[in-house]
Amino acid sequence: MTLRLIVMGVSGCGKSTLSAALAGRLGLEPVDGDDLHLPASVAKMSAGIALEDADRWPWLDRIAQFLAQADEPGRVVACSALRRVYRDRIRSQAGAVRFIFLDGSQELIAQRMAQRSDHYMKPSLLESQFRTLERPGADETDIIALPITEPAERVLSLALRALQEHPAHPAPKPHAVNESPFPLT
């Protein structure tokens, strides 16, 4: 079975680190979702301007297509996937996807972001990321939630164990996927 995996969470939670480690351990083809942003979106974030959904839709589509085209053993993407509608959009195009949600407090992540100097995402945007974040619901059975309070190697071990113990879950029934930030009624 081809594994299509997204390591998700707010900026600074460790998505890139965990996705690279999983790629190495599982032989997956990795991509950092940041590398799939359009230059205009990177420029906005570099200037401290939060992205709007109109910026995100084509980016999410590129991520979904990358995953959909996976060969054995699979692919892994570091992608924020903060809202349910974003996750549903990826699910609708990529096939069976597993998500690993790196969960941590705003204070801890702000501390981590303050220590990095090589990333275009400004720490000032962290608050907007937490406002946007829709924590996975119980019906999102394809999501593994892991605490980031553990050391990186421990988080990797927890992720590998969870993937082994629960190799596949049926995707949840998606909400209506549209280009509006509001669900269809």
Residue 68 lies in a domain: yes
Residue 174 lies in a domain: no
In this predicted structure, the answer to whether residue 174 has a pLDDT above a threshold of 60 is no
Q: How much of the chain, in percent, has pLDDT values that exceed 70?
A: 85
Query: 18 with 156: CB under 8 angstroms?
Result: yes
Q: What average pLDDT does the segment 90-114 reach?
A: 92
Question: Which domain CATH number covers 41?
Answer: 3.40.50.300
The pTM for the full model equals 0.85
Give the model's confidence band at 118: pLDDT under 50 very low, under 70 low, under 90 confident, else very high. low
Find the domain containing 103 and state its range. Answer: 3-165
Q: Which two tokens stand for residue 16?
A: 């890139």
**Tell me: the pLDDT tens digits for 130-173?**
999 999 999 999 999 999 999 999 999 999 999 999 877 555 55
Residue 181 lies in a domain: no
Residue 155 lies in a domain: yes
- What gap in Å lies between CA 73 and CA 18, rounded to an integer? 17
Per the structure, the count of domains in the chain is: 1
Give the model's confidence band at 181: pLDDT under 50 very low, under 70 low, under 90 confident, else very high. very low
Q: Which helix (H) or strand (E) holds 144?
A: strand 143-147
Residue 171 lies in a domain: no
In this predicted structure, the answer to whether residue 82 has a pLDDT above a threshold of 50 is yes
In this predicted structure, the answer to whether residue 184 has a pLDDT above a threshold of 70 is no
Residue 71 lies in a domain: yes
First to last CA, the chain: 36
